[in-house]
Structures are given as C-alpha cells and as structure tokens.
Amino acid sequence: MASIWHDIEPLLLNVEKPARYIGLERGIVRPPHNPKNVAWLLTYPDAYEVGFPNQGLQILYEIINELLVGEAERAYAPWVDLEEEMRAKNIPLFSVDTHRPADEFDVLAFNLSSELVYTNVLNCIDLSGIPLRSADRGADDPLVGAGGHCTYNPEPLADFIDFFVLGDGEEVVSELTYAIHQWKNSEEGNLDRERILRNLSQIEGVYVPLLYNPVENENGFQMLEPLFDDTPALIEKRTITSLEDWPYPKNQLVPITEVVHDRLNVEVFRGCTRGCRFCQAGMITRPVRERSLDQVRTMVTTGLRKTGYDQVALTSLSTADYSHIEKAVAAVGDNPLSCGQTGVSLPSLRVDAFTVDIAATIQGGKRSGLTFAPEAGTWRMRQVINKLITEEDLYGAVESAFSQGWRRVKLYFLIGLPTETDEDTLGIADLARNCVQIGKKYNKQASVTVSVGGFVPKPFTPFQWFGQNTSEELQRKINLLKDATSRIRGVQLKWHDPKATLIEGVLSRGDRALSALVEEVWKSGGTFQEWSEHFDLDRWLLSMEKLGLSVEKYVYRHREKSEPLPWDHLDAGLYKDFLWQEWRDALEEVGLEDCRWTPCYDCGACTGYGLDHVVASTSPPVGGSQGTWQDLTKGSEAPQLLTIRKKSEKV
C-alpha cells in the first residue's frame, strides 16, 4: 500500500513543529502491509505531544504487531495548521509510521481519555474520508472503534463509533483482530458489515451501539433495547487477571521531538483500593493487580537500555502504595547507565511524610517542586469524598518536604463536591496558609501553589447521581478563594476554567441524544476543545439550544435512584447497590476504609469477576495513617502482595 509521504512533505514546511508528523521514533514498527492481515490505525485524537506518551496505545501497538495476522500503526490529530493544509490539498489522515492513508486500514481505533476530545474524534473520522456515522458506513469502510476510560459512558459518541471496548485491552485486542481477520478473509468476502458488527458484539467487553435501539421510558429517560436475540443486554468490562503476563510495553517508543511525560514508564500496578468516591479511575480499574518486584526491575533495566532514557516513572494510580516501592526505587538508582544520573518520578504522591522521604532519596539534588492532592479543605469534606487524609498527614508531608530542601509545594483540590459549604471551600485557604507557614520555618521563599478544579461527576462512581455545581457557582467559589488567598504571602492560586468543567459535565453523563451535539459543535469548527485557546463555551451552548438540549437536565440536576442511567447497559464490575450505599454514606459523612487492610465490603470488583479477593494484610507498612485515616499502628512490613487467582466460575 502506498505511502503518501511525498504529498505530506511539502506541507510540513509551513506548519508548527513538523517533527510531530515524521514518525522515525526509536522502537517503531514498520509492518509488512500484508493485505490479508488486519491493519489497525491506533489514533489518539489530540496533538502528538499529548498523545504520544499514552501507554495504552503503545501497549496495543506492540501486542497487535506481535500477532501473525495483525498490523498496527499510529496516528494523532493533526494540529489546526496542518489540518487546514491537508483539507486544501485533499490529503487524508495518515499514519506516522509509514505515512499510509487512514482509509487503507481495516480498523480506525481511538483512545478516549477525555470528553473534550470528542469533536476531534469526529474530525479524524472525517479527515480519513470515512462516513461520519456508523449507520452510513459500507462494507468497504474501515471499522471505527474506541477504548479508554471515557468508554464507560460511550453514548455521546454512539452514533459514530462501530464498537467500544470496556476495560483492559491486552486480551481483547487479539480476539477482535482474529474475528475481523476471519470475516475479512472469508468465502463470502467482507461484504456484510452487519455480520462483522454482530460477531464483534459477541466478544466480551465489546459494545456495538448500532445493535441497540434507543427508546424513551414513561419519564422521558433514554433506555437501550438490543436489536437481536444474540445482542448482549449487559456488556461487562474486560479485566486481565495478572499484569505479570503482560510486561508491556517491551519496546517503549522514544520520540524524536518534544512530548509530555518524556520518560520511561513502568506500570507497577493497576487498580486502586483507596475508594475515593469522586475518582472514576479508581473505581473502574479495580481490583488492584501488582507487578512483581522482579519484573519491575527487569522492565526498568531493559527499558533504560533499549530507550536511552535517563528518567523513569513508576506509574499507577497511587505509586507509594506499591508493596515494594522502596526496593523498586532503589533498583532505578542502582542502574549503571548514565553515570548514576537516572531520575525517578512518582506521578502520584501519597500525602504523608513516608512518601516524601522516598521522593527525597530519588530526586537526587533536584528539589524543584512536590505535588500533593488533599482534594478537599476540611476533614468533613474529605470524609464525604472518602479521601481520608488527616491534617496531620498533610502537615507532616509538607514539613518533611520543606525540611528536606523543597521550596515549592503544589496542592490539588476539587471544588463543587457534594454537600460542600463555603466553610469547606475556605478550608482550602486555611490549609494553604498553614502549609506555607510550615515552609517559612525552613525557607523564607517557601511557597504553596493551590490548584483547584471543578468537580465533574462520573459514571460508575458513588457520585454519579450528584448534580454538578453550575459554572457560576464554581466561579463564585473560585472568587471566594481568590479573596481568601490574596493576602497570604507565598500562596498562589490557580484554577481550571469552570466553563470547560461545564462541558465536561454535559458529555460525562450524557445519553445518545448528545451525538447530535458533538456533531454540531464539530461542524461549527470546534476542535481541540481541551486546549484553552480553542475552547469556546458559546459554541456548545448555542448548539445545545439549537438542538433543544437542556444543560439543567444533563448537568445540574441530582439523579434519582430509580432513574435509568445512560450507562446501565454497561458493567464496570461494581455493584450498583454498592455505589448507591457509598453515595448514601457520603452524604452521611461516613468514610470507608481501604480494603487492603480491612475485610472485604464487596464492591463487586473481585467477587463479581470470580477473582480471588485481594488479600488484606494485617500488617500495614510504616508511615502513620498512610492517608487512610485508619489508626495503623506502626507496622514493620509492607502490605502483603496482592495476589489474584485465575478467573474461575462467576459468582
């Protein structure tokens, strides 16, 4: 198949950062382009520098290319300047690996990690020359798929995506490839698109929206009816039982040009048991599955050797919770390459002194800044959201940081949380004031940056029933904080635009009627909406008005227990009763302990999947409450390795 590099090359003379489009990264695969194979174009619907480091995409890239019948290449949303040139010259979306046009692939697959990229998804489909809507595609058109965290409410994109995949992609991507391969090379030929869509719908974890008919119930809420007898009424997420079986990426790609998170990434565990009620990632990726220390060491050593990186991130939702965190960190330090200059970063620091001590051992001389996420300003509020960090935890962490030479601490908070009062909001300023005071003991220039974001309720969390704060209310709370912090020397306040929060809220819990909204906004030119210079609230509000869609209905109102939710046909492994109970407990300000060290409260993640329950350790590690609020008397051992048996009979 033909490379269109010669058509692309002249355009690159006139665009910003042309190296984003050339490929050539270390670790790249140039597949054989065997017409019998199933060729995937793994597309990140945002700029290259943001999409390139995405580990999910790189993992799938490797797994597919290892298959005998699979080939994978990558594409990223061209920046607006190149898109304009491409449209003028009729050049389609292309892969960066071999510069092959998108419509020569069998599958165009998107990674969805944020709602605001949805219009870019449509733009990429359109740039590929593929009909925008699933229903309009013919047998010759590529299949359009999507995975990633946003697929837990896929409805706003349901009209445009042929199949969504829920959960871990490592296993299911091969099943999809083989199913498509069989269909593509079958006797009848690949003329029958309905056939392949129905075949795909039989694979666990795969949701084919075209096979469901949206109907309204008596109260005007949308429900989905399966069209065929074999169309599953409930689609369960995929969960790999052991990370150990999937030591990917084995050849992490190294970019030629600048990208975010430019470092070796080694995932030390997946899932999280902390149970923060606002956190969708922590809910949908359960249960916790740790990688063995040996494998982490091997992945670090071989990864550094193959990539030439001098920076490693040990990734997870809360890396300080990894059973062998100290040894893993030491393993990086021991690496002989680059003159002992290999740095480690822990992308999510736990709020306690123990974690700061680890950070102190690894960052060497660099003491630029440390980031913590207490998330809420008062203990009451933190009980509601189940982020059970005591003030002592926070002050201990901050004291430890400033006393060990850091001068700047960054604190992340959410505003607009359920039951939040102005006292809770202003508690953020109090915490910041106290933190900066601690810092002044050690350094006159000590500073605390407070970063606040508006809370967006997400599907499959206890807060999925909560009515989001209006953007005016969020702005009022930001103003309260501006006033309260302006007089505190050493405290800087930053905030996320409440207007963008509003639109994230619209898309986060919307039903299928929103497909029309995404299309309307895209048509009016609204791409790259997660970039503040391109985001335009009026564009969204005008389109909603035009389509008769109510912001109140989609965002601001509280949901009833009886109300059908647009994601009720999906199963993230959590019992709805558990989530509802958690919602009630939140309103009662009752915290829930980390199930690593306490008995199972049966959220569904382990039992519902027939996995062996994660083993609770009676002996928590050293370091105070570890942000669990529990009175963990100083233990001496790390928590027991969380082990999981192979999937057995379903409960």
Partner 1 sequence: MIHLRLKSSKTGKIRFASHRDIAKVWERTLRVSSIPLVYSQGFSPRPKIAYGLALPTGAESDCEYIDIQIDNSKETPLQVEEICGLLNSNLPPGIEINGASVMEGKFPSLQQTVTSCLWDITVNEDDTTVDSWLDRIESENEIVLRRERKGKEVIDDIKPLVYLVRRKNKKIDGRITVQAELGTQPRSLRPSELLRSLEPHLSEYKLYRRKQIVEEGGQRLDPLEVAGATQMRSLVGAL
Residues lying near partner 1 in the complex (CB under 8 A) are found at: 5, 9, 12-13, 18-19, 21-26, 254, 256-258, 304-310, 337-339, 341, 364-366
**Residue 158 vs residues 43, 207, 214, 645: alpha-carbon distances, Å:** 17, 10, 11, 35
* Amino acid identity, position 320: A
Shortest distance in whole angstroms from residue 98 CB to partner 1: 11
Shortest distance in whole angstroms from residue 377 CB to partner 1: 37
Shortest distance in whole angstroms from residue 257 CB to partner 1: 5
- Residue whose CB is less far from partner 1, 18 or 247: 18
Shortest distance in whole angstroms from residue 97 CB to partner 1: 11
- Residue whose CB is less far from partner 1, 311 or 628: 311
SS (H, E, C) 507-571: HHCCCCCHHHHHHHHHHCCCCCCCCCCCCCHHHHHHHHHHHCCCHHHHHHCCCCCCCCCCCCCEE
Shortest distance in whole angstroms from residue 99 CB to partner 1: 9
Q: Are strands 163-165 and 206-207 parallel, antiparallel or unpaired?
A: antiparallel
Query: Burial of 36 by CB count in 10 Å (0-12 exposed, 13-18 middle, 19+ buried)?
Result: exposed
Query: Burial of 403 by CB count in 10 Å (0-12 exposed, 13-18 middle, 19+ buried)?
Result: middle
- Residue whose CB is less far from partner 1, 199 or 251: 251
**Residue 421 vs residues 225, 357, 473, 524: alpha-carbon distances, Å:** 41, 34, 11, 39
Shortest distance in whole angstroms from residue 310 CB to partner 1: 7
Shortest distance in whole angstroms from residue 259 CB to partner 1: 11
> Angle at Cα 579 formed by Cα 573 and Cα 584, nearest 5°?
170
Shortest distance in whole angstroms from residue 18 CB to partner 1: 4
- Residue whose CB is less far from partner 1, 24 or 651: 24
Shortest distance in whole angstroms from residue 361 CB to partner 1: 16
- Residue whose CB is less far from partner 1, 98 or 177: 98
- Residue whose CB is less far from partner 1, 406 or 465: 406
Shortest distance in whole angstroms from residue 332 CB to partner 1: 14
What DSSP assignment string belongs to 97-117?
TT--BGGGSSEEEEE---GGG
Taking the C-alpha atoms of residue 291 and residue 281, their distance in angstroms, rounded to an integer, is 18
Shortest distance in whole angstroms from residue 368 CB to partner 1: 12
Beta strands in 243-358 (DSSP E): 264-267, 269-270, 289-290, 311-315, 343-345
Taking the C-alpha atoms of residue 320 and residue 389, their distance in angstroms, rounded to an integer, is 14
Shortest distance in whole angstroms from residue 337 CB to partner 1: 6
Ramachandran category for residue 340: left, alpha or beta (phi over 0 → left; psi -120 to 50 → alpha): left
DSSP 440: H
- Residue whose CB is less far from partner 1, 343 or 635: 343
- Residue whose CB is less far from partner 1, 11 or 235: 11
- Residue whose CB is less far from partner 1, 22 or 516: 22
Ramachandran category for residue 163: left, alpha or beta (phi over 0 → left; psi -120 to 50 → alpha): beta
Please give the torsion angle defined by the CA atoms of residues 337, 341, 347 and 349, in that order, rounded to the nearest 10 degrees.
120
Shortest distance in whole angstroms from residue 180 CB to partner 1: 30
Taking the C-alpha atoms of residue 47 and residue 67, their distance in angstroms, rounded to an integer, is 28
Please give the torsion angle defined by the CA atoms of residues 9, 49, 496 and 267, in that order, rounded to the nearest 10 degrees.
160
Taking the C-alpha atoms of residue 284 and residue 196, their distance in angstroms, rounded to an integer, is 28
- Residue whose CB is less far from partner 1, 18 or 226: 18
- Residue whose CB is less far from partner 1, 189 or 308: 308
- Residue whose CB is less far from partner 1, 25 or 399: 25
- Residue whose CB is less far from partner 1, 203 or 264: 264
Taking the C-alpha atoms of residue 525 and residue 542, their distance in angstroms, rounded to an integer, is 13
Q: Considering only CA atoms, which of 426, 413, 430, 419 is closest in space to residue 374? A: 413
- Residue whose CB is less far from partner 1, 41 or 304: 304
- Residue whose CB is less far from partner 1, 9 or 563: 9
DSSP three-state, residue 146 = strand
What DSSP assignment string belongs to 446-503?
-EEEEEEEE----TTSGGGGPPPPPHHHHHHHHHHHHHHHHTSTTEEEEE--HHHHHH
Shortest distance in whole angstroms from residue 41 CB to partner 1: 19
Shortest distance in whole angstroms from residue 565 CB to partner 1: 47
Give 134's contacts (C-beta < 8 A, 6+ positions apart): 144, 159, 160, 161, 162, 209, 210
Yes or no: say if 634 and 628 are a contact pair by the CB < 8 Å rule.
Answer: no
> What's the order of all strands across the beta sheet hosting 264-267?
264-267, 311-315, 343-345
Taking the C-alpha atoms of residue 231 and residue 243, their distance in angstroms, rounded to an integer, is 30
CA 488, 489, 490, 493 dihedral sign is positive
Other C-beta atoms within 10 Å of 216: how many?
11
- Residue whose CB is less far from partner 1, 29 or 549: 29
Shortest distance in whole angstroms from residue 365 CB to partner 1: 5
